[in-house]
């Protein structure tokens, strides 16, 4: 595929190649002021999940959680932004016809999960990078009590938080991981299971 990514004509047989193409063409872009590229960040999340023997669906969710940075019509986040670009929703919209609800929830809710953990874990905010703190401000800051209670009604809340932890961990400069091609068969298995 060439040019701007488009998901309008995708099918279960082509979604993985579409994602591989995005990683190939745009994976080298800067990741929000972090010491890793976009692809390195997502690959690290997936690799760390695999190293902790997570099920394939969690590994795939960690791999794809930030795909909306590449597919969002609003572009990617920068430290100069004054408004949120809602990459989580952009990513979920691309994936929702091909992946199970758990993956979609992890993609759509990973920003909310940061806000949730900030509200429920007093040590968490101190672990965030400068870029993550900046984006947190744009995203609404820590949740209030009503938002926490509502977030906790999601049946996938524990897995969403787990994927968020892999998201936070995937910012290690120089960390070696397999490339997207290594995870592609796993991604296809999750698609095939959903689209049967």
| pLDDT tens, N- to C-terminus, the chain (196 residues) | 444 445 668 999 999 999 999 999 999 988 877 899 999 999 999 999 999 999 999 999 999 999 988 865 434 544 444 444 467 888 999 999 999 999 999 999 999 999 999 999 999 999 988 888 888 888 889 999 999 999 999 999 999 999 999 999 999 999 999 999 999 999 999 999 998 7
pTM: 0.88
What is the fold, at CATH topology level, of the domain defined by 33-195? Hypothetical protein af1432 (1.10.3210)
> Length of the chain in residues, anyone?
196
CA dist., res. 83 & res. 192, Å (int): 37
CA dist., res. 186 & res. 196, Å (int): 15
Identify the CA nearest to 101 among candidates 194, 1, 180, 11. 194
């Amino acid at each position: 595929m060439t040019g701007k990514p488009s998901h309008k004509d995708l099918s279960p047989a082509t979604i993985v190649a579409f994602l591989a193409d995005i990683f190939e063409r745009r994976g080298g872009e800067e990741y929000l002021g972090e010491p890793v590229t976009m692809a390195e960040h997502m690959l690290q999340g997936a690799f760390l999940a695999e190293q902790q023997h997570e099920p394939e669906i969690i590994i795939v969710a960690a791999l794809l959680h930030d795909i909306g940075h590449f597919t969002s019509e609003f572009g990617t986040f920068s430290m100069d932004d004054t408004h949120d670009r809602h990459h989580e929703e952009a990513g979920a919209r691309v994936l929702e016809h091909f992946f199970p609800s758990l993956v979609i929830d992890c993609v759509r809710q990973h920003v909310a999960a940061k806000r949730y953990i900030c509200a429920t874990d007093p040590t968490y905010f101190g672990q965030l990078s400068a870029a993550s703190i900046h984006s947190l401000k744009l995203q609404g800051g820590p949740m209030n009590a009503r938002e926490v209670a509502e977030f906790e009604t999601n049946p996938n809340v524990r897995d969403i938080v787990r994927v968020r932890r892999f998201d936070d961990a995937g910012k290690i400069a120089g960390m070696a991981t397999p490339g997207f091609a290594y995870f592609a068969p796993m991604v296809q298995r999750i698609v095939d299971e959903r689209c049967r």
